[in-house]
Amino acid sequence: MLMEQMTVNEKGMLEFAGRPCDELAEKYGTPLYVMDEELIRNRMRLYQKTMKKEFGEDADVLFASKACDFKAMYRIAKEENIGVDVVSDGEIFTAFAAGYPMERLIFHGNNKTDDEIRFAMEKQVGTFVIDSEEELDAVEKIAAEKNRVQRIVIRVTPGIDPHTFEAVATGLVDSKFGAAIETGAAMALVKKALHCFHVSLQGFHCHVGSQVFDEEVFVKSADAMFSFAKDVQDKLGFECKEMNLGGGIGVRYVEKDPQLQIEQTMIKLAKHVKELCGLLKMKLPAMRLEPGRSIVADAGMTLYQVGSVKKIPQIKTYVSVNGGMTDNPRYALYRSSYSVVCANRMNEKNQMLCSVVGKCCESGDILQEHVLLPDTVQRNDLIAVLTTGAYNYSMASNYNRIVRPAVLMIHKEGEYLAVQRETFEDLIKNEF
């Protein structure tokens, strides 16, 4: 089975974290995001434990909350004592509302508005990741107005190809994020930051891309970042105190995807970084990693109900479900792969080739193509799309005025709704 928390009961029904899918659908309705809290906590612990063991006590893991950003996630991150990366005032607000300690937030984004900068400072957000010269000027100005010295790191584009989809590759010179080493923009930004009175430069950040399976990509990013830090040290006399190598560890969505071992990948990276620091005669800075997907993706699944099975002879078969690109736009955006099963026919043979599609008025509203399901699939059957814990809820929309599904969290002692299903009233609540 692709996901470790899945089993099949004697009725041929899929069970997720010990809960039969028919009971979940009956009790909470569909579509439904179902998440395994134990797995999320275990991943956070594994990351943090390995981080501290390999890089020392001042190292920290930050959960990239864009992957899954509702209040319960910030509460879990707080309880598991890990940092959090946010990218907007809305994420800061949600973390604040959840009682997450603001000084542990690190604030990303390639275009922080003045209002967002003010808001973040008012909320005492710990660290800003500076993305451009204009942003540095704005942070310096607003910090001066507030009589504050803001901790910052600078986002650097190291020029590393992550060998992933174009839309989630962020580390090359043509990226909209950060200042490139290659063009001299990164060095110029550091120089400027060192002349500011109201920011305190701590170090550097990079994130080269998402869904990366090649461990060498992380090693090469470290090479580029540390040699940049050394260059800065030699030319400007600034010693890097904090080095953040971003997130990006790939996740197994389908059987053929490799399974990257988080712990082994981190151990390998730590060994390389420590050797690198020795070679460059640099002190090991406080290290940061900011995984998103690899903490939550395989902790989640989405449960749908079938509406129709449309067989177009010799051409195609469509299985339509009661959700779609509104709760999971990733196939429409990136042709992302997912494993799809018929949750109430797990013991039947999967022999019908079909496309599993949503209910939006868009031909592109597809959850997955080239899926094999039992040829008995019919209206009211349950379809489970697996590994939907990352970038599904957080990317959901109300297109076609479809309400966003509930998020059900399952843990050892029971289950609770982390997010309730939206209502029609929610859809019109801001309208006059």
Ligand X SMILES: Cc1ncc(COP(=O)(O)O)c(C=O)c1O
39 or 321: CB nearest ligand X: 39
260 or 427: CB nearest ligand X: 260
289 or 321: CB nearest ligand X: 289
- Minimum CB separation of residue 206 from ligand X in Å reads 8
55 or 218: CB nearest ligand X: 218
- Minimum CB separation of residue 140 from ligand X in Å reads 22
186 or 341: CB nearest ligand X: 186
- Minimum CB separation of residue 294 from ligand X in Å reads 6
344 or 387: CB nearest ligand X: 387
Per residue, what are the HEC states of the chain? CCCCCEEECCCCCEEECCEEHHHHHHHHCCCEEEEEHHHHHHHHHHHHHHHHHHHCCCCEEEEEHHHCCCHHHHHHHHHCCCEEEECCHHHHHHHHHCCCCHHHEEECCCCCCHHHHHHHHHCCCCEEEECCHHHHHHHHHHHHHCCCCEEEEEEEECCCCCCCCHHHECCCCCCCCCEECCCCHHHHHHHHHHCCCCEEEEEEECCCECCECCHHHHHHHHHHHHHHHHHHHHHHCCCCCEEECCCCECCCCCCCCCCCCHHHHHHHHHHHHHHHHHHHCCCCCEEEECCCHHHHHHHEEEEEEEEEEEEECCCEEEEEECCCCCCCCHHHHHCCCCCEEECCCCCCCCCEEEEEECCCCCCCCEEEEEEEECCCCCCCCEEEEECCCCCCHHHCCCHHHCCCCEEEEEECCEEEEEECCCCHHHHHCCCC
- Minimum CB separation of residue 243 from ligand X in Å reads 14
> By the criterion CB under 6 A, which residues form the site for ligand X?
64, 67, 85, 108, 207, 210, 246-249, 290-294
CA 219 – CA 275 distance, rounded (Å)? 11
The catalytically annotated residue of 21, 68, 354, 361 is 361
- Minimum CB separation of residue 95 from ligand X in Å reads 15
- Minimum CB separation of residue 251 from ligand X in Å reads 8
64 or 341: CB nearest ligand X: 64
Annotated catalytic residue 361: yes
- Minimum CB separation of residue 246 from ligand X in Å reads 5
Catalytic residues: 361
